[in-house]
Amino acid sequence: MSQTHKETLLKLQEPASEDVGSAADYIALMKPRVMSLVVFTALIGLVMAPGAIHPVMAVAAIALIAVGAGASAALNMWYDADIDAVMSRTQDRPVPSGRVAPDAALTFGLWVSGLSVLAMAVMINYLSAALLAFTIFFYAVIYTMFLKRRTAQNIVIGGAAGALPPVIGWAAAANSVSIESLIYFAIIFFWTPPHFWALALIKNDDYQAANVPMLPVTAGVKSTLSQIVLYAFVLFGVTLLPYALGFSGLFYASGAALLGCVFVALCVSLALASDKNRNRVAGMTFAYSIFYLFLLFVLLPTDRVMGL
C-alpha cells in the first residue's frame, strides 16, 4: 500500500470536523412534536377510510408519513437557520446552535424525503406517495422558501401542508381521495391560522426581530385578533360538516359543537382581553387549540364505533 493511499484511508476514518450532531440532534431536526400530530391525524384518516388495510402495511404507511414529515422539517430547519438563530423559541435548534452543520441537515432532509416517498410508492400505493411528495414539497419549498418571509398569509396557505396527513392516511388505505378526507383537510386548514396567530401574538417581538411577516407584525394586534375570531367561527362551521353531510353521527356533532363553543369563547375573550392579560389568554387559546384538534379527531372514530 502506498504512503499516499494510507494517508487517504486514515483521513477518511477521521470524523468530519463540523459533523458533531448526536442522534438526539437529528431527531430534534425532525420536529418530533409536530410529527406526533401528523402521525395522529394520518392514523385517523387511515382508520376512517373504507376498505381493509393489512396492519403491517398500516404501520408502514404511518411510519413513512412520519418520516416524510420529519424530513420536510429538517429541510425547513436548514433553510430557516438564520431566522431561528434570532428568535428565542428556536435559537437552540440543532442548526442555529451549531450542533448540526447546515449541509448535514440539507443532506439528511433530502435523502430521508426521497426514501420515504420511494418506499411509500413501492410498499403502499402511488397516490399516497404522490400526496406525500407534494406535502414535503409544499412545506419545504412553497411555505418555507417562498411564503414564510414574503406574506402575512404564510401560515394560512402554508397550513395546507400540515392539513394533508389525514388525506395521505386515507389514500394509503383506500387508494382514493374523497369528500370525507377533504373535510379532515379543511378542519386542520382552518384550525391552523388561529392556532399559530395565538402563538405569534405571544412571540411578536421575536418575529419582528427576525423580520418574519407574521400577521401581528404586518397588520397589528387588533387586526390579528379579529382574524382569529373570524377563523374560529369558520372552523366551528367546518367541524360540523361531517355531521351535515351524513359522514358522522350525533355523538360527533354534539362533541364538536361543545368543543367549538369553548374555542370560539376563548378566541372572543382573547380579542376582548386587556393589553396586560392578552399574552396569558393567547397562551390558553394556543394550548386549548391543540387539545381541541386532538379531541375532534378522537371523536370521529369514536362516533363510528358508537354508531349513533
Contact positions vs other proteins (CB under 8 A): 15, 17-18, 20-23, 26, 54, 56-57, 59-60, 63, 119, 122-123
Q: Using the minimum distance from each CB to other proteins, give the nearer residue, 14 or 275.
A: 14
CB of 63 to other proteins, least distance (A): 7
Q: Using the minimum distance from each CB to other proteins, give the nearer residue, 9 or 24.
A: 24
CA angle 188, 121, 162 (to 5 degrees): 15
Q: Using the minimum distance from each CB to other proteins, give the nearer residue, 116 or 192.
A: 116
Q: Using the minimum distance from each CB to other proteins, give the nearer residue, 4 or 13.
A: 13
- Determine the Cα–Cα distance for residues 14 and 8; give it in Å rounded to an integer: 10
Q: Using the minimum distance from each CB to other proteins, give the nearer residue, 15 or 307.
A: 15
CB of 178 to other proteins, least distance (A): 23
Q: Using the minimum distance from each CB to other proteins, give the nearer residue, 59 or 250.
A: 59
CB of 22 to other proteins, least distance (A): 4
Can you read off the three cell numbers belonging to residue 154? 404564510
CB of 50 to other proteins, least distance (A): 18
Can you read off the three cell numbers belonging to residue 234? 369558520
CB of 120 to other proteins, least distance (A): 11
CB of 250 to other proteins, least distance (A): 38
**At which residue does the C-alpha cell 372552523 appear?**
235
CB of 130 to other proteins, least distance (A): 19
Q: Using the minimum distance from each CB to other proteins, give the nearer residue, 94 or 216.
A: 94
CB of 75 to other proteins, least distance (A): 19
Q: Using the minimum distance from each CB to other proteins, give the nearer residue, 63 or 86.
A: 63
- Determine the Cα–Cα distance for residues 123 and 117; give it in Å rounded to an integer: 10
